[in-house]
Structure 1
Amino acid sequence: MRTLLAGAAAVILLGGAVPAAPAAYTSPRALPASPVLPDAFRNAPDAAPGEAVPLAEDWWKSFGDPVLDRMVETALAGNLDIAAAAARLEQAAAGLKAAQGALLPQASLDGSGGIKRQSTEDVQGRAFSKFPGFQRTVEQYGLNGAASWELDLFGKLAADARAARAEAGAADAGLAAARLTIAAEVVNTYIDVRAIEARLAVARARVAAARETDTLLRQRAERGVAALTETDRSGAELAGAQSAVPALETALEVMRNRLDVLMGRAPGQAAAELGAGGIPAVRAPAVPDGPAALLARRPDVVAAERRVAASDARVAEAIRARYPRFTISGFAGFLANGMSNLFTGGAVQTGASGGISLPLFTGRRLRARQAAAEAELKEAVADWRKTALLAAADGENALLALTKRSEQAAALGRVAVRLADSRQRIETAVRAGAVSRVEALGVERQMLDAEDNAIAARAEAARAGVAAFRALGGGWQAAGARLAVSR
């Protein structure tokens, strides 16, 4: 007991000999302020094209397409990027538990048993063998419980736990970002598939119109009514129309296979699941606030902010590593030379101790580690600010594109309608003998060109709507309360 008290006194005296440290970490510099962003979007539409849809985590359902809904849900359940992000969250959660566990006392239970036959030919054995009652064969059994606790007087372990908590928050936001990204990619790819299907039908109609035109002109040339230059031009137009079909067929297969990969399955299954369908109508998200709200709404921005918090805590941990570490430990158990008397009073043994570890000379390793942690904090702050600025730019660009692409789609749609009306009128004129079939086919080719442009514009407008949902966070903030534990 006197020895134990003397050891404890030494620990206390040594602790008093080192410089005092603040009880709570104070950052070597003021923590960075949040990036300054406007409270309103400059490009927010006065009236959203179509009906504005409130932001929600299942925003894709606003397109009203059951096939699309099933594909997005399948991707969210089976996509491998999301699975990897979920695994990173599990790793971060395990790291947080480990860091929190380091703040608690550690306990263990150890047992041992053995038998030894002493040699009488070495110096020790020859000396002990002369004592009365010497036994060459000795059994020894032990059972001990031990406990130790590192007293986190300067907050090093607490800083490590704060860093782990922030890293878990970043991983949680990273998982949300992965889900938002994959959902948007599935919707965009689905739009591409429907657009290519529609454009492929138009391309095949172009081939039919070009073939009929070429046939009619060749017949005229044979009768001497048309020049050979006209048949040369019509043949070239036919070849050009035919060349577009395989390119679109290839693009369609590529997009279908991409859908399968996004859903986490082997290519070749999407075609049967897709069936027939059209390009989803444009959907515009409601814009209740401005870029400043993206600091909490966009999961990638929140993840970057959590990495700043983690880096700041790592700076605190590096500073605390230069202060003493105090530990207390003790044990209690039994030790005997036979099982029969192992659990008797005479076999009881106990012990307690205290310890201190003070880094005196580390070759400036600890200072270098602190400098590295501070540099990592600067990097994290720069990444956070950059991510926030890019998010604000994404929002402005997406809202502007949504407005302008919708206007473009509407204008090209009107062109296609006017040319379709013109085609009907010229078909009437053909039946009346007022114009030739070749002239009617020329108008039909113009109409098909306009329809192809209108299809592409509708797809771009629909993708602009998807980009707007994604840029505004896709409604993730509604479930963002789960990040409160990381703050």
Structure 2
Amino acid sequence: MTAYVHTGRGITLALAMALALAGCAVNRPPASPSILSSTPPEWYAAKVKPDASATADAVNKTPASSDLPNDIRLSQLTNWWQLQNDALLLDLIQAAQNASPSLLTALANITQARANTSIAQAALLPTLDASVSTSRSLAGPINRAAAAPASLQQLGLQTSWEIDVFGRASANRDAASERLLGAGARWHAARVSVAAEAASQYYQLRSCESQLRIAQADTRSREQTSALAGLAAKAGFESPANAALARAGAAESRARSTLQRGQCEQGIKALVALTAMPEPELREKLAQAPLPPPQQALLAPDSLPAQVISQRPDVFNAAREVAASSFEVANARAERYPQLSLSGSISRNKTFTRNQGLDFSTWSVGPLSLNVPLFDGGANQAHIASARARYEDAASLYRGTVRQAVQEVEQALVMLQSSADRNDDAALAALGFETFFDATEARQRAGLASLVDLEDARRSLLNAQAAVASLALERRKAWIALYRALGGGWSSASAMPAAMTFQDLVSP
């Protein structure tokens, strides 16, 4: 039902009715879910304490930040890659971000979300339209000679405004604003993901190169042994079977080196695809860059409260989706209440007949209309139920995202602790097997040990050296996983830059 009111007393009455109805607050579910109910009071995984000197260097290089509880140094996560002291790694990360289609998609999503916010904001303001028209007609007797042609020109302005008495339009605006913030968080999440992927591929390639050097050193040693065994067999000091064993060991080692070299080539191809860097340029950079130093612990995980995961972009985005869904519930409920709108117009008209002109203008304010919904066949209740279901779904996804974040942090801490606990033993084992191999080789040359003993010692040494290299890669990946699990240095204060440019997209 729509009531139109024109008189001053009627306008006052309609406004009074609308304001009285506005006192009926439109309830909505909570827009800010609490993260405390979904996080443990502390991390239950073993805590990894970083090297004291590395932590001190990191603190000296980065300013302290109080964005998070307990004065957590968020800048250590923000500047994580710079603190690795590896220029090539920074170049690869920047190149990967420049070439990433996911970042371009995220930027497009921000542009779309900003446009939706502007549209929702515009709905709170009056609209103003202009119209211009001209026409020419012939009026008079049937005799064309006596007819009087007439021209009519019209210029008008029309305005209309739906007064947001019950907050329907403002709820739409707030929902769009929340999703805009979420789009900004997703953009940063894409940057963190690309940087972590580039670093992981780079470290994996470097580890492959270390494994290749170990395999090549083993091949050279086996080929020397094979050559000596062949000479000894010809002289009658070694059996033909042992010489065959030495040749087989050398051939096996060459095959292992060839396989390892192929894996390293695949790693280079993966980096080329990820960074869009020309392969000759990438190979030159890899050849000139020194090997990265061992991974330093730049962050003390046991100083991080469990609530720190609220800085993760995906958790923040999930929370913003809950808030947006809450505002949509308010919007659906506001549809049950009357809608108050005001319109007006100004028109100027000019008529020309037989070189005589006539000007006249009109203006009007109103009608002030109050549209009161009476019966819609249950459509509005269905809209409210649908909005409420979307809210419940968003809240459920938020809780699941928080649990996933907790799991990822805990698993990263377990990986770090496991690699730290095995590091000393792996290094000690490699040193012991190297000493044993050197002694066995000396004994074999002196005729006190067999070639089989030497091959067994060599195999043990190779496995121990490979284990050390693999453990170093595992530790690097664990730190990358923790970096990603903690949000990569993102904070809600910087979720949405004031102006998003292409330079923001490609900055490391």
TM range (shorter): 0.7 to 0.9
1:9-48 alignment runs, 5 A limit: 9=10, 16=17, 20=21, 22=23, 24-27=25-28, 32-34=33-35, 35-43=37-45, 45=47, 47-48=49-50
Percent of aligned pairs with the same amino acid: 25
Where does 1:78-157 land on structure 2 (aligned, <5 Å)? 78-116=99-137, 118=138, 129=141, 135=147, 137-157=149-169
- The residue that corresponds to 1:419 in the other structure is 433
Instruction: Determine if the alignment matches structure 1 residue 293 to structure 2 residue 293.
Output: no
1:365-385 CA-partner distances (Å, limit 9, x unpaired): 322222111111111111111
Q: Secondary structure at the match of 1:304?
A: helix
Aligned partners of 1:27 and 1:385: how far apart in 2? Answer: 19
Q: CA deviation at 1:237?
A: 3.9
- The aligned residue for residue 330 of structure 1 is 344
Is the counterpart of residue 315 in structure 1 residue 318 in structure 2?
no
1:98-247 to 2 correspondences below 5 Å: 98-116=119-137, 118=138, 129=141, 135=147, 137-217=149-229, 230=242, 233-234=245-246, 236-247=248-259
1:394 equivalent in structure 2: 408
Rounded to whole Å, the distance in 1 between the matches of 2:355 and 2:318 is: 62
Measure the CA separation in 2 of the matches of 1:400 and 1:350: 76
Q: What is the CA deviation profile of residues 207-252 of structure 1, one whole-angstrom value per residue up to 9, with x for unaligned ones?
A: 3333444444455556666556545655554444333334333332
Aligned CA distance change for structure 1 residues 387 and 455 (closer, same or farther; 3 Å): same
CA distance in 1, matches of 2:254, 2:129: 78
Matched position secondary structure for 2:78: coil
Q: In the alignment, what sits opposite 2:66?
A: none
Structure 2: gaps spanning 5 or more residues:
59-72, 499-508
Separation in structure 2 between the aligned mates of residue 410 and residue 208 of structure 1, nearest angstrom: 28
State the TM-score, normalizing by the size of structure 2. Answer: 0.80
SS at match of 1:336: strand
Question: In 2, distance between residues paired with 1:8 and 1:141?
Answer: 35
Code of the residue aligned with 1:83 in structure 2: it is L
RMSD: 3.7
Displacement of 1:401? 1.2
Distance in 2, Cα, partners of 1:324 & 1:390: 44
Alignment match, 1:122? none
Residue 295 of structure 2 corresponds to residue 282 of structure 1:
yes
Counterpart residue number, 1:353: 366
Q: In the alignment, which residue of structure 2 is the partner of 1:376?
A: 390
**Stretches of structure 1 lacking an aligned partner (at least 5 in a row):** 119-124
1:100-155 CA deviation, whole Å, 9 max, x = no partner? 11111111222222334x5xxxxxx7xx6379998463322222122211111111
* SS of 1:59 mapped into structure 2: coil
Mapped to 2, the partners of 1:129 and 1:267 lie a distance apart of 88
What residue number does 1:71 align with? 92
CA–CA distance in structure 1, aligned partners of residues 354 and 79 of structure 2: 69
Alpha-carbon contact 1:217-1:230 (below 8 Å) kept: yes
Partner of 2:45: helix, strand, or coil? coil
Closer, same or farther: CA 131–364 of 1 in aligned 2, 3 Å: farther
Q: Deviations over 1:33-79 (max 9, x none)?
A: 43342343233536325633553312112211111122223333442
* Equivalent residue in structure 2 for 1:480, among 493, 497, 500: 493
Cα 1:33–1:438 change in 2 (3 A) is closer
After TM superposition, the structure 1 stretch with the greater mean CA deviation from structure 2, 372-381 or 441-450, is: 441-450
Q: Is the 8 A contact 1:195 1:459 kept in 2?
A: yes
Give CA-to-partner distance per residue, 1:164-185, whole Å, 9 cap, x none.
0110111111112111111111
Distance 1:360 1:267 in 2: 70
Q: Which amino acid in structure 2 is aligned with residue 94 of structure 1?
A: A
- TM (normalized to structure 1)? 0.83
* Contact 1:325–1:358, Cα closer than 8 Å, also in 2: yes
How many residues are treated as equivalent by the alignment?
471
The residue identity in structure 2 corresponding to 1:43 is A
Aligned equivalents of 2:473, 2:426: Cα separation in 1: 12
* Residues 32, 323 of structure 2: 8 Å contact kept: no
CA contact (8 A) 1:11 1:356 kept: no
How far apart are the structure 2 equivalents of 1:183 and 1:270? 17
Indicate the residue corresponding to 1:121 in structure 2: none
Residue 302 of structure 1 and its aligned partner are, at CA, apart by 0.7
CA contact (8 A) 2:78 2:490 kept: yes
Deviation at 1:352, TM superposition (A): 2.8
1:197 positional shift: 1.0
Could you say what secondary structure the match of 1:147 adopts?
strand
Per-residue CA distance 1:321-355 (angstroms, 9 max, x = gap): 2322222111113122349999x993322223233
Letter in 2 for 1:166: E
What is the one-letter code of the residue matched to 2:304? D
* Contact 1:49-1:406 within 8 A present in 2 as well: no
- Matched position secondary structure for 1:300: helix
Secondary structure at the aligned position of 1:100 is classed as helix
Deviation readout 1:1-31 (Å, 9 max, x if unpaired)? xx97259838956995999465543225797
Residue type of the alignment partner of 1:292: Q
